[in-house]
Amino acid sequence: MRTIKVQTDRPYDILIERGIINRCGELIKSVSKAQKVCIVTDSNVEKLYSEKVISSIKASGFETELFVFEAGEENKRLSTIADMYSCFADFHMSRKDLVVALGGGVTGDMAGFAAASYMRGIEFVQIPTSLLAQVDSSVGGKTGVDIQQGKNLVGAFWQPNMVIVDPDTLSTLPDYYINDGMAEVIKYGCIKDEKLFETLENENALSIIEDIIEICVSIKRDVVNADEREKGERMLLNFGHTLGHSLEKIYNYKGLSHGQAVAIGMCMITKASEKAGITKAGTTDRIVALCKKYGLPVSDKADFREIAQVCSSDKKTAGGSVNLVLLEKIGTSFTKPTPLNGLEKFITV
């Protein structure tokens, strides 16, 4: 088993091991005195893993309940959270009880936010089953939901008790979802680790996926340890996300996945910063080639003006400017406050 320790205000371990989902109950028992556990999952993952997880959790002495919502980013909304609250209340959960987020990033974000806000905060454990969640969203304590005005505008920082990562769950994912997660993997190479980026260029990531997960999680652990609430260095994790979130909103969270939007955002912002002489020449070509290798889009027909306008409601804006994450070169990144009224001109290439 690979164990990565996160030293936030509430420290916890990230455990990585094939088949570990079968022991999730005993692992949860080791970090919680809860009596009741509510497993939150979506309609896709429920068919694959809920029975296995419920069986393990029951075997460890917990009372269990299952909450299933319809899969899809379009259901990452406050009405779904309200339904979760009703489920928790009907199950008579107390402040000592626990929520399990079983699934991808949407599930983890919403279950984490529900746990953070129900009775002003109850415990939760992440069991991420998508590549995107395993390498990124399950770690660091960011939770949230989308509202009409933008993505993740309502949320909280709420660290889990534990993250249980079973790479075997990736075997049930269609290529579409593997590609989606690879956008976040590529992001980590871009912002922090040129060696990881080169490995992705030269090898098939899936053949060494446990190593890839460990590297990405370790990078995020180090960033989160240094900046738990995104006041400085943690902003670097948003590389590609500012423009990506705008694209997701433009398409109403349908037809363009989070990973696809991030891939386009990384290519678009790097092309702009390279044009401005900020980023090393040739960097965009490398990112474009790597995204294409892993089946990700690298451009979009959306109007630059509309993208810039939507950015104005992004949570990373402040005082009439937006913090763009740019690259000096592969593996070296920084934030650059950019006036919103100059964003369209900057990204138009």
Identify the active-site residue in 151, 221, 241, 249. 241
Annotation says 241 is catalytic: yes
Q: What is the mean pLDDT of residues 5-34?
A: 97
Q: Are 132 and 192 in the same domain?
A: no
Active site residue 22: no
Q: Is the separation of the CB atoms in 113 and 156 below 8 Å?
A: yes
Alpha-carbon span 21 to 49, nearest angstrom: 9
What size, in residues, is the chain? 349
pLDDT tens per residue, range 206-220: 999 999 999 999 999
From 137, 156, 172, the end of a domain falls on 172
Reply yes or no on whether the pLDDT at 34 is more than 70: yes
For position 315, what pLDDT does the model report?
A: 64
Dist. CA 40–CA 191, nearest whole Å: 32
Mean pLDDT of the chain: 95
Please tell me which residue in 73, 238, 271, 274 is annotated as part of the active site: 238
pLDDT of residue 230: 86
Residues 243, 298, single domain; the answer is yes
- Could you tell me what percent of the chain has a pLDDT over 70? 99
- Which listed residue (123, 228, 230, 248) is catalytic? 230
Given the residues 76, 221, 234, 286, the one annotated as active site? 234
Does the annotation mark 238 as catalytic?
A: yes
The answer to whether residues 186 and 306 belong to one domain is yes
pLDDT at 325 over 70: yes
Among the listed residues 76, 142, 221, 249, the single catalytic one is 142
Please tell me which residue in 120, 202, 231, 301 is annotated as part of the active site: 120
Domain range for 268 is 175-347
Mean pLDDT of 170-192: 96
By the 8 A CB rule, do 85 and 118 touch?
Answer: yes
Same-domain pairing of 215 and 196: yes
Residues 183 and 74 in one domain: no
**Is residue 14 located within the same domain as residue 141?**
yes
Tell me: pLDDT of 93 over 70: yes
> Looking at residue 43, what is its pLDDT?
98
Q: What's the domain count of the chain? A: 2
**Span of 58-72, 243-257, 267-281, 316-330 with lowest mean pLDDT:** 316-330
Query: b/e map of 6-21 (b: 16 or more CB within 10 Å)?
Result: beeeeebbbbbbeebb
Catalytic residue status for 184: yes
Give the pLDDT confidence score for residue 66 in this predicted structure: 98
Residue type, 293: K
Last residue of a domain, one of 155, 172, 189: 172
Please give the average per-residue pLDDT across 290-305, as a whole number. 96
> Is 203 a catalytic site residue?
no
Listed residue (297, 175, 312, 316) closest to 239, CA to CA = 316
Residue 63 is given by DSSP the state: E
The type of residue at 231 is K
Tell me the per-residue pLDDT of 113-131, one tens digit each, with 9 for 90 and over: 999 999 999 999 999 999 9
Residue 142 bears catalytic tag? yes
Same domain, 219 and 304: yes
Does residue 265 surpass a pLDDT of 80? yes
| pLDDT at site 39 | 98
- Take residue 139 and report the two structure tokens written for it: 């770690």
Domain boundary among 172, 201, 232: 172
Indicate which residue of 258, 271, 274, 286 is catalytic. 258
pLDDT of residue 223: 95
Q: What is the DSSP letter of 34?
A: -
Determine which one of 187, 220, 271, 286 is catalytic.
Answer: 220
Confidence tier at 316 by pLDDT (50, 70, 90):
low
168 with 179, same domain: the answer is: no
Confirm if 51 and 113 have CB atoms less than 8 A apart: no
Distances (CA, A) of 54 to 25, 46, 93, 265, 323: 8, 11, 17, 38, 42
The CATH number covering residue 190 comes to 1.20.1090.10
Q: Which tens digits make up the pLDDT trace of 225-259?
A: 999 988 889 999 999 999 999 999 999 988 899 99
Report the b/e string of 124-139 with b at 16+ CB within 10 A: bbbbbbbbbbbbbbbb
Q: Which of 245, 249, 271, 286 is catalytic?
A: 245
186 and 166 both lie in a single domain:
no
Q: Please check the confidence at residue 282 and state whether its pLDDT lies above 70.
A: yes
CATH of the domain at 55: 3.40.50.1970
pLDDT band at 266 (very low <50, low <70, confident <90, very high): very high
Confidence (pLDDT) at 314: 72
Q: Is the predicted pLDDT of residue 88 greater than 80, yes or no?
A: yes
**CA 332 to centroid of chain Cα atoms:** 21
Residue 55 and residue 184 in one domain: no
Note the pTM of the prediction, 2 decimals.
0.93
Q: Which of 123, 184, 228, 248 is catalytic?
A: 184
What pLDDT score was predicted for residue 246?
A: 95
167, 256: one domain: no
Q: Annotated catalytic, 120? A: yes
* Same domain for 108 and 48: yes
